[in-house]
């Protein structure tokens, strides 16, 4: 007797997590290099004493806190076990097997995976040659079966961002019945005022969802907590497909404690963005092509050389994130980590177009 599982899952690419190699500098997963602040660790420790109890399924305290902070009613907030869980819930909440999700490619690698897992169709639109979203192309790719569009802003892994005027024009033109999810996992690293805060756009529209996470700027990647602001009927549907109790009590406590020290967290983000701009300048001076990043990582569009570059970095005990055939994404760490990466980058012979040695 054999058990039968879904045949279509065989073709599903697995999510590739950033590698962890003992003793190496890890710049592969867009994490914060600095650990949680002492007050956040204390909140996690206090919550640990209560883990014999189920978590608050509705995460009431966290939802109320986020609603107040974002100035929206609590009924517009959904929380989940990381914003990747909310991405999946959005697909589940909007699509049946005959419907489609639309997104740019290359973008967040979870989009194609979760879309296929949920069983919806998908359509992708290539990034422009400057590695940014082709919103006109995406608008043209919307069909009567499109239900959900992901716009990752800033885009993972290229770091590019769409500007207010192009995004507003896109949102104004999206047909009725299509939900646009602005995935702002890296919002706290945006320093360019021309890149809009999705919340300003969300407030005046009923077809926009804004996704955020505590994993990146707030340094809680290991605990899994994210949130979205969504029009009330959308938030209600997203909550219906929430896996019960999947947002654990330690994560809820840590998220609340992190909001208490938000100023310190945002100061850390400013230090990261200063380093990002320094690393970008240095890489450009070395001859690498580097699109301007609005996130906590940089993108090197190395094409076929991405894999060789990755091997070179591993030889320097630096773990980056290669996307074979496409490019390499390097997270901005602390200054010493970034310096170690820059030293490796300086020593790569092919950076000015010479063949790799």
293 part of the interface to ligand PLP, by CB under 6 A: no
Output the six-digit token pair for 14.
């697995």
Q: CB-wise, 121 or 154, nearer to ligand PLP?
A: 154
Asked if 82 interacts with ligand PLP (CB under 6 A), we say yes
Identify which of residues 89 and 310 has a Cβ nearer to ligand PLP in the complex. Answer: 89
Q: How far is the CB of 106 from ligand PLP (least distance, A)?
A: 11
Q: How far is the CB of 285 from ligand PLP (least distance, A)?
A: 28
Contact call for residues 115 and 122 (beta carbons, < 8 A): yes
CA-based nearest residue to 347, from 316, 324, 307, 305: 316
Residue span 102-121 as binding mask against ligand PLP, x where in contact by CB under 6 A, dash where not? ------x-------------
Alpha carbons 202 and 72: distance in angstroms, whole number = 10
By CB under 6 A, tell whether 88 contacts ligand PLP.
no
DSSP string, 110-155: HHHHHHHHHT-EEEEEEPPTTSS--HHHHHHH--TTEEEEEEESSP
Q: Which stretch binds ligand PLP (CB under 6 A): 77-85, 137-145, 269-277, 321-329?
A: 77-85
Give the binding range for ligand PLP (CB under 6 A) out of 40-48, 79-87, 125-133, 200-208.
79-87
**Alpha helix stretches (DSSP H) within the chain:** 38-48, 60-70, 83-94, 110-118, 135-141, 164-173, 198-202, 232-240, 249-260, 262-286, 306-315, 335-346
Which is nearer to ligand PLP, 29 or 339 (by Cβ)? Answer: 29
CA dist list (Å): 268 to 12, 117, 194, 216, 258: 37, 36, 22, 11, 12
- Binding flag, residue 226, ligand PLP (CB under 6 A): yes
CA pair distance 167, 67, nearest whole angstrom: 24
Both tokens of 231, joined, read 């029009």
**Residue number with CB closer to ligand PLP (246 or 342):** 246
Q: Which of 201, 221, 307, 314 touches ligand PLP by CB under 6 A?
A: 221
Positions 147 through 166 that interact with ligand PLP (CB under 6 A): 152, 156
Residues that bind ligand PLP (rule: CB under 6 A) add up to a total of 14
CA distance 6 to 33: 39
Piece of 76-84, 96-104, 306-314, 315-323 that binds ligand PLP (CB under 6 A) = 76-84
Burial 299-313 (b: 16+ CB within 10 A, else e): bbbbeebbebbbebb
| Residue of 83, 89, 116, 305 interacting with ligand PLP (CB under 6 A) | 83
Q: Which residues in this chain contact ligand PLP in the complex, by CB under 6 A? A: 30, 82-84, 108, 152, 156, 183, 185, 213, 215-216, 221, 226
């Amino acid at each position: 007797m054999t058990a039968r599982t879904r045949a279509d899952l065989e073709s599903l690419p697995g999510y590739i997590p950033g590698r962890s190699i003992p003793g190496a500098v890890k710049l592969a997963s867009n994490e914060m290099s600095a650990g949680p602040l002492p007050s956040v660790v204390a909140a996690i420790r206090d919550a640990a004493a209560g883990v014999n109890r189920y978590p608050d399924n509705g995460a009431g305290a966290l939802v109320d806190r986020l609603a107040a902070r974002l100035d929206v009613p609590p009924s517009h907030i959904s929380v989940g076990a990381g914003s990747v869980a909310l991405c999946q819930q959005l697909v589940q909440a909007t699509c049946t097997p005959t419907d489609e999700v639309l997104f740019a490619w290359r973008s967040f690698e979870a989009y194609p995976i979760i879309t296929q897992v949920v069983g919806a169709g998908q359509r992708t639109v290539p990034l422009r040659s400057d590695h940014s979203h082709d919103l006109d192309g995406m608008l043209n790719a919307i069909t009567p079966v499109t239900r959900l569009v992901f716009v990752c802003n800033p885009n993972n892994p290229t770091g590019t961002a769409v500007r207010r005027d192009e995004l507003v024009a896109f949102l104004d033109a999206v047909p009725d019945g299509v939900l646009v999810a602005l995935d702002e996992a890296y919002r706290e690293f945006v320093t360019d005022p021309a890149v809009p805060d999705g919340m300003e756009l969300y407030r005046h529209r009923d077809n926009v969802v804004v996704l955020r996470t505590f994993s990146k700027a707030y340094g809680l990647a290991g605990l899994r907590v994210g949130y979205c602001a969504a029009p009330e009927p959308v938030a209600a549907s997203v909550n219906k497909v929430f896996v019960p109790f999947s947002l654990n009590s330690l994560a809820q406590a840590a998220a609340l404690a992190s909001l208490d020290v938000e100023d310190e967290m945002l100061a850390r983000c400013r230090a990261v963005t200063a380093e990002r701009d320094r690393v970008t300048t240095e890489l450009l001076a070395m001859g690498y092509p580097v699109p301007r990043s609005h996130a906590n990582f940089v993108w090197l569009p190395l094409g076929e050389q991405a894999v060789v570059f990755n091997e070179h970095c591993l030889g320097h005990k630096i773990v980056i994130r290669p996307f074979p055939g496409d490019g390499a994404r390097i997270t901005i760490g602390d200054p010493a980590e970034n310096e170690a990466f820059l030293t490796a980058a300086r020593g790569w012979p092919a950076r000015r177009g010479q063949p790799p040695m």
